[in-house]
Structure 1
Amino acid sequence: MFALFAFFSSSRIFPQTRFNYIHNKGDKWHLTSIIDEEVLVNGEYSSSSQIRNKISVEVVEGEGDGGLLRVNYQISEKATDSDIYSWFENYEVEYRRDVRGRISGIRTESPVPMTRNIPVYPDGFVPLGAGWTASGVEVFDFKKLFFQIDMLLEIPFAAHYKYLESIERDGRRMERVSIDCSYQWTPDLDTLKLFDAYAWFPVEIIGTFWQEVLWDASSGRNYAETGGFEYSYLMNDGIVFTFKGTSKGQAVYYTVLDKNSIIEEIEDLTSDDIRAKSIDEGVSISLNDIHFVPDEARMLSGEEEKLEEIVGVLRRYPDRDILVVGHTAKPPGSSDGWELSYQRAQAVARFLIERGVRTESQVVIRGMGHSQPIGDNSTTEGRKKNRRVEIVILEN
């Protein structure tokens, strides 16, 4: 009994924990991170934006230790003068992650995850206040940054960690860990030979970033993060581009969406122009033949009543993100309709946000123009079907 008492007494005096990632097949969660970014050119302000990264994870293989993950990166963006996030890109990738956090098996052509092997935790029990260093990799997609350079660049770095404290958050015990990293890259001879094909390329990259992570020991995963970053690119013509900002994100643990109940609720609504169906991403609610002022994004009188009916349904699922997608018909000789469909999706999304159905960070819009018809555009009835806005209640 004395030995047992001495053990517990010592553990209180010297707090320690194990940072073991846990992967069990079928586990799902997502982390939504909001990034406020500013762009400088030669030290002068150029532009700013807010980026929303939603990283959805499913454990495909796992029995409590290392696992195979299927990860979807949905990236949306809004300018500082906008209140709506616009869909930008979507990536899906599979890779393995061990209990320490090291990942492997990523396709060589994949630009995500951009920062790899962050965080990586030590083996065994880690005492409060301990520090450690682990290697990571930063991946830059030059085709996105500098359009004429078709290559991915991997820059290795050393990340420095410290176990700061144990706290309570959202009814869970969390471990707060800090991460600091900096590096400087210049092209080697082989890379310079590749750059010979381009007129404009970077000759130096300086990167720094820091994070504070909350580790959820009970689930074996990272629960939340805050951080900051600054990346500077010195180009061969002497111009310096700097991207800097802050990030903040939190995980949402998966619960099964009762799709059938939502579809039944939609079928009970009074409007005949509202339909719902189950899709892989969740439940798609379609407002068929929604009436706008011709060639504008202003809804005609009475159309908002249809949305008010949907508002009641959406309020019952407040933790689910939504995607609003606009579609147009294609009359003979018309344009692709993308801009108009985008503006109409924006109008519907803004309506939902103003009603308090969702926060700005829970809504993304996308315009599809007339690229996804469900009717024959050569007929009046077909075009009527194609003029629609879809509100997708997302599964994860």
Structure 2
Amino acid sequence: TDTTPVDGTVTAIDLSANTTGVTLRQYGIPAAEGSTAVDTDKDGVPDANEPAIVGAIKLGSGADTLNIENGVVSGDIDFGAGADRLNISGGAVVSGAIKNADGLLDINVSKGTLAATQTGATAISNLNIGAEGTLLVNLDPANNTAGGFNVSGNATLATGSTLGVRFSSLLDGPERFNIITAGTLNVGQIDQTLLSGNSPYLYVVEGGVNQAANTVYVDARRRTASEAGLIPVEASAYDAVYGALGSNETLRNLFLSQTSRDGFIDAYEQMLPDHSGGPLMSLSAGVDAVTRALTGRNAVAAPGETSAWVQEINFYADKDKTDSYGFRSEGFGVAGGVEKGSSLGAFGISAAFTSSDIKDPEAEAEEVLSANLLELGLYWRAQGQYWTTWARA
């Protein structure tokens, strides 16, 4: 068996030898009128007809144009040389590193998303992000680099357009990253809420414009435990968990890909031990149920008599999430005993078996723990007209 890791790359289109220029158009075929086909993004093109290119696109030295009007392009795009254009419309999504050899590239995102994954700024000629466009850039704090674009001409971000960032490494402290530098910069109102929602929840990200330097920047810092709404047991492990992400690429990428609190908390809770005490409290509830079965009997064996008893038991225990995690537990069992009456009351031996399931209602993994209890004991009990007393061991 060949266990060599896969380290190759996928190339979807290779036109790097072309010198005359090409035009590549990706578009979807709308559904027929009255069609009931599933159309998740409501763009008129059924999901089954959404086009996709997966893999790198390599273009040559001619004047090339990519018109991505629908669907998805997932892969690096190397425009080579020449006066090139990238147009994204129709809600299309383009994700990959944007490369260009001579800086002669115009990018226009009128309606759709460009997730530019390069970790260094790419030189282009013009950039336009329309009111229905989204630009995501990649940041690499460990190497002190930021993706995005150096624009020799005009860079325009219309009011309503959305910015977002992705991280390929962890922040050590608050840092500012320039993501767009332009010869002429025109920026509408940056929606900080949309920017935050398009960035890892682990960080607080705010955007701004340095008009004097013609740059768009983002300031990023780690979100505090209080800002994340962590309960005390979660907050106590926050620094340790963050430190562990630096040595585990899989976990780091998992946390850096979460853009909502729900996603972040689902991942974070799986890093922590169970502090709710659910198994112990469930077993304790089972013991209490056995005790109630014993003490709830209305009659005591008369002196010299021997009697036996058996009773089904059910119990329930729960705890809401407060300073520690909550749980829900339901259990059942059976208890019984044999006792002999005397002038001092009844002396007996008891046996019980209980079984319970413990669930954490907020656990992403939805795991279920089981707890079983087998109990043998000795007891004494006595009863009068208005009183009952007992002891058990």
Q: TM-score range by the shorter chain?
A: under 0.3
Looking at CA atoms only, which structure, 1 or 2, has the larger radius of gyration?
2
Structure possessing the higher relative contact order (Cα contacts under 8 Å, 6 or more residues apart): 1
Q: TM-score, normalised by structure 1?
A: 0.23
